[in-house]
Structure 1
Amino acid sequence: MLSQSVYTLVNQQNGDLAFKLFEFDNNSYFDHIQRNNYFSLVLVTSGEGTAKVDLCDYRFKEDTLFAFYPYQPFMLQSKKQLMGIALQFHHDFFCIYRHHQEIAANGILFNNVYEQPFICLDEDSKSKILYLIRGIASELREEGFRKDEALVAYLKILLVTATRLKLEQQTLQDAESGAGKQQFLIQNLKNAIEDNFRTRHSASEYASMLHLTPASLARITKKHFNKTLSDLITERIIIEAKRELYLTDKTVKEIAYELGYDDEFYFSRVFKSKTDTSPQFYRNTIGFNRGAI
């Protein structure tokens, strides 16, 4: 698929990995928990198995494109040989939190607490993705004029394409599941979390808002999202915390307070339980204090 198996681009200012594209032909790359400090796109072209992502298990098969955000724990388990292509890039290379409104990637493709973290590709969509990956590989081989800008352009088109595919699949899945009472309830729950996650952290509060018992809402949430309602609320808080840490110079205490936590140390423990890193470490290695592009 690629003319060589590994391409890398290093940040000349600090020596860190900025961009990497590689082929894999066995299970050893992702058969253990990954907690990377960069975004990862993993295209499985052959093989099937179980993806363990955060607190959930998902079945997958060939022609599946995964999208993982920094520090998100994941692993791919398979009894058969896995083959495919992985693309990894750092915030400093493509400032995704600054581009998230423009390309609609953050909250749809990455870091979406409401949907599965992958896209199933048909032949046409697979061809589009592979075409863009080959374009990226071609740029990585060359030492052409404004190489970084060309790579960012290719990456941006790739993310837009993947985001469109995910939106199409979500719309199709919603249609297939029917526009009945439960689908209406799920949408109301998403809206309730988006409107209230900064101030309401209790699952029982959302059950009350939706006029359901906590047990009933817990069953629906587990069935639809394969997560608890508390997980959904907390993960939505973490998404917002990451944006604030990345884009602003607010203190951790200020961010914690704006997200409904009077105790910044408790907030830091919650953040670390979900990301495996503290808010301050996240900021120092990725966020505002790093001096974004």
Structure 2
Amino acid sequence: MTAQTAHTLINPNSKALAFQIYAFDDDSYFEALKNYNYYSIILVTKGKGKLWVDFSEYDFTEKGLMCFAIYQPFMIKADGEFEGLLINFHPDFFCIHRHQQEVSCNGVLFNNIYESPLVQLAEPEAQTLLNIVSELKAEMHNPELAQYELMVSYLKIFLINASRIKVNQNQLPKAFKTEKEPFILKTLQDAIEEHYKTKHSPGEYADLLNISARALNRISKMHFNRTLTNLIAERIIIEAKRELYLTSKPVKVIAYELGFNDEFYFSRFFKSNADVSPQMYRDTVGYARAEGIGGRDFEKN
């Protein structure tokens, strides 16, 4: 980058990034595939271009908001000028699962395989989010009492506002509004949510919906921007990540609960789709957070 400003907090125990706000003024940082062990949010203040995430490609424009889950691969190529802010936070700093009732961003901003990771903001919406980021920056340099609690509060406010914007825009696949196939799309989504632990092949869902596998795959590619195989795999991986992070269950138990009789096959499946092994994911992201393991002491860097 020709110019950059980073505000970073480091976890003194793991020496890993806990929270960061990063200002960028070109796309050089994003041209290589990113695959972080923390959540990432990008707020584009100037520019347009293309985003590659998971198995899909999207066009973005100015005032675009992009949200990526842990170890969700993404890459950006801007078309000309490109400025904005990158926010990174590790689940040790703020766990979206444990705070789901308060914030409700899980399944809206993050971990939703049925919607685009992009949100297009109106000017007032973008300014609201930028104002919250300004408060976060100021608090990062404030060593006063309860700094962590106040920063988490601002992050919550940011995530709540962003989630409300996305929900209010009702950013469902276009077919829900304009095509003649909303029923089959909703039925497919419901079927995956109900059966992803036991049914892993496109043919099984085609049988459930009484449609050919080829036709169902075409619908998936057209409306969810990925093949049915990829859609099913992503849903399994989201649940596997949640279990690896929130519980201390052995990998073989998680594999069995997700319909894999062979732990090693599950590990290969996980690494193929998440670009990291289950154990590495657990080592770098943490685990057993639902069982009360965690810490809150961070230092500036």
Specify if TM > 0.5: yes
The alignment status of 1:84 with 2:87, answered yes or no, reads no
Secondary structure of the 1:215 match is helix
- Residue in 2 aligned with 1:94? 94
- Residue in 1 aligned with 2:299? none
- Residue in 1 aligned with 2:298? none
Q: Which has the higher helix share?
A: 1
Secondary structure of the 2:59 match is strand
Secondary structure of the 1:67 match is strand
- Residue in 1 aligned with 2:60? 60
Measure, in 2, the Cα distance between the counterparts of 1:185 and 1:175. Answer: 10
Q: 1:50-70, CA deviations, whole angstroms, 9 ceiling, x for partnerless residues?
A: 101111110111110100112
1:84 CA displacement: 0.4
Measure, in 2, the Cα distance between the counterparts of 1:235 and 1:285. Answer: 20
- Residue in 1 aligned with 2:294? 292
Q: 1:96-119, CA deviations, whole angstroms, 9 ceiling, x for partnerless residues?
A: 221234322122211211111111
Matched positions, count: 289
Measure, in 1, the Cα distance between the counterparts of 2:171 and 2:183. Answer: 14
- Residue in 1 aligned with 2:224? 225
Secondary structure of the 2:109 match is coil
- Residue in 1 aligned with 2:211? 212
- Residue in 2 aligned with 1:8? 8
* Unpaired segments ≥5 residues, structure 1: none
The alignment status of 1:136 with 2:141, answered yes or no, reads no
1:194 CA displacement: 0.4
1:231 CA displacement: 0.7
- Residue in 2 aligned with 1:257? 256
1:87 CA displacement: 0.6
- Residue in 2 aligned with 1:75? 75
Secondary structure of the 2:81 match is coil
Letter in 2 for 1:122: A
Measure, in 1, the Cα distance between the counterparts of 2:235 and 2:67. Answer: 17
Letter in 2 for 1:25: D
Secondary structure of the 2:80 match is coil
- Residue in 1 aligned with 2:183? 184
Secondary structure of the 2:42 match is strand
Secondary structure of the 1:198 match is coil
Is contact 1:283-1:289 (8 Å) kept? Answer: no
Measure, in 1, the Cα distance between the counterparts of 2:173 and 2:189. Answer: 16
Is contact 2:8-2:21 (8 Å) kept? Answer: yes
Secondary structure of the 1:110 match is coil
1:181 CA displacement: 3.9
Secondary structure of the 1:108 match is coil
Measure, in 1, the Cα distance between the counterparts of 2:261 and 2:176. Answer: 43
Secondary structure of the 2:18 match is strand
Measure, in 2, the Cα distance between the counterparts of 1:148 and 1:97. Answer: 18
1:140 CA displacement: 1.1
Secondary structure of the 1:105 match is coil
The alignment status of 1:41 with 2:41, answered yes or no, reads yes
CA gap of 1:171–1:64, structure 2 versus 1, over 3 A, is: closer
Measure, in 1, the Cα distance between the counterparts of 2:152 and 2:162. Answer: 15
Is contact 2:270-2:278 (8 Å) kept? Answer: yes
1:285 CA displacement: 1.8
Is contact 2:246-2:288 (8 Å) kept? Answer: no
Measure, in 1, the Cα distance between the counterparts of 2:176 and 2:248. Answer: 44
- Residue in 1 aligned with 2:246? 247
Secondary structure of the 1:78 match is strand
Is contact 1:95-1:292 (8 Å) kept? Answer: no
Is contact 1:252-1:264 (8 Å) kept? Answer: yes
1:6 CA displacement: 1.9
CA gap of 1:254–1:36, structure 2 versus 1, over 3 A, is: same
Identical aligned pairs, as a percentage?
47
Secondary structure of the 2:167 match is helix
Is contact 1:246-1:286 (8 Å) kept? Answer: yes
- Residue in 2 aligned with 1:26? 26
* Unpaired segments ≥5 residues, structure 2: 296-301
Scaled by the length of structure 1, the TM-score of the pair is: 0.94
Q: Please report the RMSD computed on the Cα atoms of aligned residues, expressed in angstroms.
A: 1.8
Measure, in 1, the Cα distance between the counterparts of 2:88 and 2:73. Answer: 15
Letter in 2 for 1:223: M
CA gap of 1:221–1:175, structure 2 versus 1, over 3 A, is: closer
1:47 CA displacement: 0.9
- Residue in 2 aligned with 1:237? 236
Letter in 2 for 1:205: E
Is contact 1:174-1:183 (8 Å) kept? Answer: no
Measure, in 2, the Cα distance between the counterparts of 1:61 and 1:71. Answer: 24
